[in-house]
Amino acid sequence: MSVALVVVSHSALVAQGCAEMARQMAPDVLVVPVGGLDGGLGTSVAAVADAVDGCLGDGLDVVVLTDLGSAVMAAETAVELLEADAAARVRTPDGPLVEGAVAAAVQAQLGSGPDEVARAATGAVPALGPVLPDGPGAGQGRGRSDVGVGTDAVTVTVTLRSPHGLHARPAALLARAVGATGVPVTVDGVNAASVLALMKLGARDGQELTVAGEGPGAGEAVAAVAELVRAGLADA
């Protein structure tokens, strides 16, 4: 991995919890929490600067994620204190802290550079609440696995096998797998490379999902993703 994340919050517990969640999504990415001030709430420019310096010293570019106003100011001040060549390796995107950290971590896990990781954080949606199916029998799949193939387009209907549904870890596993293919793939119409979009589906165990792709390599990518949905998410 070439990019580390520094998570800055007014609360040490929030920073630590956010970092823990991001690590669950992207186990190979360095995520450093910075939070609290003198045992209470607040932010420290020195603490942020130390965290950023440590990541830069390890040869990593850095994306700094923040929660509220003074955390933003602390991050910006810490970057301003760096030498120009070091500051050029740091990004401070404006986005939601928790969702941004999750999205950025998954993007970093794919080996993306700091600009792509920062964009992932900025583009993270501010709500993770699942949209659950309504009505009797909602989310209950019929076990079908139909395949439709057109010119450069492939769709597969597959039954999700994951005891707790498409929650954070399986969604991250699926998003990383899709990102690694380099092929645009959707699951039930959402970008399957976005862990947040996948989680918002609220898909449950036994639910049918439609995996679709188009363009060169779509057949192989969709087949791999469908197989992962069918069998590879059960223990995630």
What residues act catalytically? 10
CA 39 to chain centre: 30
Distances (CA, A) of 30 to 67, 134, 228: 19, 39, 26
Q: Which residue has the tokens 């709430």?
A: 41
Q: What are the two backbone dihedrals, phi and then psi, of residue 135, each rounded to the nearest 5 degrees?
A: 90, 160
Nearest-Å Rg of the Cα atoms of the chain is: 19
Amino acid at 57: G
CA angle 149, 208, 131 (to 5 degrees): 120
Q: How many residues does the chain have?
A: 236
C-alpha distances (whole Å) from 180 to each of 9, 62, 88 are 31, 22, 27
Helix (H, G, I), strand (E, B) or coil at 115: helix
Provide the residue type at 22 as one letter. Answer: A
Q: Using the 8-state DSSP alphabet, how is residue 12 labeled?
A: H
